[in-house]
Amino acid sequence: MKLSLFELLYGLSEALDHVESEWHPLPKVHAKKTAYFAVRMGECAGLKKEKLYQLALAGLFHDSGITRSQGGLCREKEGTKEELKFRLLAGEENFMQLPIRNPKPHLVLFHRERGDGSGAFGRKAGEYPREAGWLHLAERVSRLEAGWDEKTLRKEEIERKLQELKGRVLDPGAVELFFRAEPRLEAGDLFIKEYLRKILPDDHREWTEEEVGRFSLLMARIVDERCGPSCVHSREITRRIQLLAEYYQYPEVIREKLCLAGALHDLGKLVIPLEVLNKPGTLSEQEVKEMRNHVLYTYYILNRISGLQEITMWASAHHEKLNGKGYPFHLSGEQLFYPARMVACVDIYQALREPRAYKAEKSHESAVQIMKEMAQAGEIDPMIVDDLEKLFRR
């Protein structure tokens, strides 16, 4: 299917910003601003389009490793060098998985190194790619401008601050370049998107099935990681939905759309506060409401990415019921197309098969039994339940 990686990451970066903002107050466009500032610097340095493109993607994805440290081992170590290193390694791994030709290594990994060598990996200016230094400066300005470290700073104050950080923290060359590039500090979402679209190469192209699969698993993993180190929910759904689509002998493009829909169905969980998302005990009424909002967030985020209309519907209807008693839109049978019903059924099946804090995992047989009862009650599609029974028995 035809996709634009830039469009995808541009939209998905909003979800990642939310994750980061759980730890620090950030503007909703932190990743976008980082990408824009870095690209402006790249332009000023005379970088070719292809390199600007990678810089933009690295800016949009630079914080993607955070879900692993938040949901995983490093949660308690927030703010330490160890956590930062862990997060940067995860981010680098994510970036290198993106379907781009020759992804440039170390852009993400070293984007928090300090000029004096006191950063996570102990490299001094000149010992990491200069673009990584630009990303560091770009993300720092985005934070300063948002009032992350202290109050929101105005232009002159930011300039003063950059002079102060020059050398010790930031690459002196990067600071000079930033002043020459003169990006619009107050640039917003629409401006940034138009700006980047105009100067970056058009990356709308046909993706291979392997690329769609790899990207889907990458995004599924990012969501899973936030739900805990042992969570494989979204990845398993991606795998199972692929099996089901093959079983139905769907054409390639439908298989690919289903794969993405399965991978991204719980994307909105990135927006749910960790205490609710990973609460070991039962949720209060209020928390249940909050938790249920994850499908709405999935919808809002995906709906803004052009070219994903069907995927958005299939992904965000996974808690709907055929009898209209599901959520969030209370859609009913005739509004729920077969692929949306498939995602819903695979989600239920997978959830039943997983152990959760409040329940043990179910066997294949008892999961199917429960689903048959749901089908009888008019909630889910009985045909799909029959097919899952055969297909997932092994």
**Residues lying near Fe ion in the complex (CB under 5 A):** 63, 139, 266, 347
Closer residue to Fe ion in complex, CB, 63/211: 63
Closer residue to Fe ion in complex, CB, 65/207: 65
What burial class does residue 79 get, using C-beta atoms within 10 Å of its C-beta: 0-12 exposed, 13-18 middle, 19+ buried? exposed
Tokens in use for 118? Answer: 């006191």
> Minimum distance from CB of 350 to Fe ion (Å)?
7
> Minimum distance from CB of 2 to Fe ion (Å)?
27
Closer residue to Fe ion in complex, CB, 146/181: 146
d(CA 371, CA 377): 10
Q: How many helices (H) and strands (E) does the chain have?
A: 18, 2
d(CA 107, CA 131): 6
Q: From the CA atom positions of the chain, what is the Rg in Å? A: 22
Closer residue to Fe ion in complex, CB, 57/207: 57
d(CA 138, CA 17): 15
Closer residue to Fe ion in complex, CB, 140/211: 140
> Minimum distance from CB of 338 to Fe ion (Å)?
19
DSSP E strands in the chain: the ranges are 2-3, 205-206
> Minimum distance from CB of 182 to Fe ion (Å)?
22
Q: Please provide the distance, in angstroms rounded to a whole number, between the alpha carbons at the two ends of the chain.
A: 31
- Is 223:269 a contact under the CB 8 Å cutoff? yes
Closer residue to Fe ion in complex, CB, 211/318: 318
> Minimum distance from CB of 364 to Fe ion (Å)?
18
> Minimum distance from CB of 233 to Fe ion (Å)?
6
